[in-house]
Structure 1
Amino acid sequence: MKKKNTYLSVLITICSVILFSCNTDGETKEVIIEEAINPPSIILTKGNSWVVGDIASNEEIITEDGIRNWKDLDTKIRTYFKVNTSGQIKVSLKAQAVEGSSVVTIALGDQQKEVEISNTDFQTLEAGMFSVEKAGYYFLEIQGKSNTGETIADIDSFTLEGSALNEGITYVKEDFYWGRRGPSVHLNYTAPEGKDIVWFYNEITVPEGDDTLGSYFMANGFAEGYFGMQVNSSTERRILFSVWSPYETQNPDEIPDDYKIILLGKGEGVTTGEFGNEGSGGQSYKVFNWKAGQTYKFLLKGSPSTNNSTDYTAYFFDPTEGSWNLIASFRRPHTSTYLKRQHSFLENFITQTGNISRMGIYGNQWVYDTEGEWHELTEAKFTADATAKKGSRVDYAGGAKGNTFYMKNCGFFDDMTEMNTMHTRTPNGKAPEIDFALLPKGSLK
């Protein structure tokens, strides 16, 4: 091996380049630049970035074009990705200064680089080399250090390349609305075979700190609808019950009259109407300030009715009052069935909080059949939606812990649960004590 003034040697056997240099004390140190096998990955900020600690700012700063309207030097923005091995990552950014010039810092873990942005058209600027010690999710955190114009910079994307990408990289490449919402996860319960199920009972506890804005903790799902609780805003939470129309459309105005969901009755303080976008049908909700750390009970009835229809009725137990509350009762035409496909799910419906994790504890599931028998549901299959299936995001988990099930999603955590796996909780062995005849009627006739 020939030694040059730069002390550069190529070690083909380990696919790396070793640079030798002298520090101020005259000591020689060794810097290994590992060879990248895969091509660079371009991570678009519009689908993978969030403002840190300011949910409302996401709507203004993370636009359909990328990072825009970024003016405050205190604002930090994180762009997320996952690598499958340790190694080096060379980072560049496609950015422009709208006016004047700016200096920004880019951090990955405890490593930090500075980049000056003075170009007034989009150019690719090199930030430098970083390293990661293990596989997992990481984020690039960018913050303005100084600027002479009103806006710090516009940033379209980050380009990553290096040996840490040699075994693949995960980030949102398409369908950015769904990617920013994050993966939805489900528990599909194993029901007793050969039984017609009339009632479905479930309980949910959301741990403190996991009641993230935009969460829907759906307790009692069935083949034709769902029933659970949501975090709708910083000041409002709801109990939501919906039934899909048998007429497939995203626009409720298109549903023929004989296919529309019929409201049979509702409880006090319940709002009812129609919904669209993810199927269409009848919807009801009650504004209720449920609290993290408290267990809430859900009860659903479904049974055939007149003229080839099925009636669905949802009840919610308010632990502060110690009583059941009627949410609503709907009739679904062109359907004659008992409750099927008992399941629960956890989803985020607000893109601005897709970077924040949430978790729900689902416990004490029971079903009641036409023969008057309760059956405990102790087995469930864990599944996830298209965002998870195509590998856009892998921050999802679920399973059993003791006598409960759990689901968790969003937040870019690493303890992922394999999809389509079966999980079994410990039985409780004691059926719910409910006198169905004493349940509130509300406006039911």
Structure 2
Amino acid sequence: MSQPSARLNFSTARWALLLAVASGPALAQQAPSGAEPDPVAALVGQLELEKYKATIKGLTQFGDRRQGTERNRRALDWIEAQLKSYGCTNTERLQYQFTEPAKRNPPAPQPPRAGGPAGQGGSTLFGKRAPTGVNTDPMAQPDERLRALNAEPTPPGTSLRENVWCTKIGKTRPDEMYIVGAHMDGIGWGEAANDNGSGTALVMELARILSQPGVETERSIRFVLWNNEETGLNGAYAYVEQRKGLQGIESPKGSGQYPEPKWLGMIQHDMMMFDHGMPVPKLDAAGRPVLDAKGQPVYVAPKEQRAEADVNIEYQATAKFAEGAAKLAWFFRAANDRYASDYPAAVGFHMTNTDSTPFMDHVPAISLRENERGQQIGAGWNPHWHQPTDLFSSYSDKDFLLGLNAAQTTLAAIAQLTGAKLKR
């Protein structure tokens, strides 16, 4: 991991002032001179690039982890076993029924729009767009072993699905909780390394560090791995439906145990690693633009992580808890500014198509991503999205490091919000 860059000092005072105004003095306190070593820095310092990569690599052994398949169930078992091995032993599963939607006829072709063909999504403000979509062709995966691993389809009809989680119990406020989540299912006939092995590994790494002996938090933290995100956030919606009415209820009465502590915030992680910038014209050996069959330029993503790469922190401005979500997002921005080693963070007010959405009208909810989902990702900024090329081998250490910086951001923020301490 590289040393913190000069950008960490950029506008630190401004963010501290913003945070103090938005969140109150309790969230903006700084350790006085001569105080004990910062426990947040000590925890963040335990995040390691190779361990993060190893967890992603472990997830890829189950292929794309498509919901409803045996490989998806095996991945859930593996995740649960890993959480227990970290010391986060109070694992639980939430079961729900899911019905695969009936297949519909494809929509009729639409005329091209400015900036690219119809159906590509994204905003023309971000320049030319590369094609996007979900790969459903098994033969697009050249690796025969991986093609065979991903061959089992989702079964038709209604069948059982599961989410898995474990909980760090708060020492003094076990009845209050932050939810830290990511979806573990994927699609596209690849390994779902980035979408969403990168987010799943992030949540697992935070569970590992915060579950160590000697780490205490005042409030509880739940580390959740959702299923059925790719089919419409079904796992997260099922959690909200089944457990929102259980918040803060002591059970059994007088036990001091809270199966569902009161939700204070929900933080989702979805696609953490690839921020190479907008598609650029593909050039031939002579440096000339490559044209498609219609004579139009072919656009491809740049090969290297862009110098302006950042962690996108999003909230939804139209949510019932938008004000609280905005404060939470800026708190995470300040945590990144102080504790992340390489990449900055940016805050946006449009959150879409990820598992924080079911929570946003019940609790302040934010998501962390590699790009802006509603514009950049939808405009083809990540050519591996839902494709056979979403493989561990498709990403460089610069890509993995962006995911690690997102982990640093969330760990730093959550440690502060829950009052994390290191016992001697």
- Of structures 1 and 2, the larger Rg is shown by 1
Bigger relative CO (Cα 8 Å, ≥ 6 apart): 2
| Structure ranking higher in helix proportion | 2
Q: Does the alignment reach a TM-score above 0.5? A: no
TM-score (norm. length: structure 2): 0.23
TM-score (norm. length: structure 1): 0.23
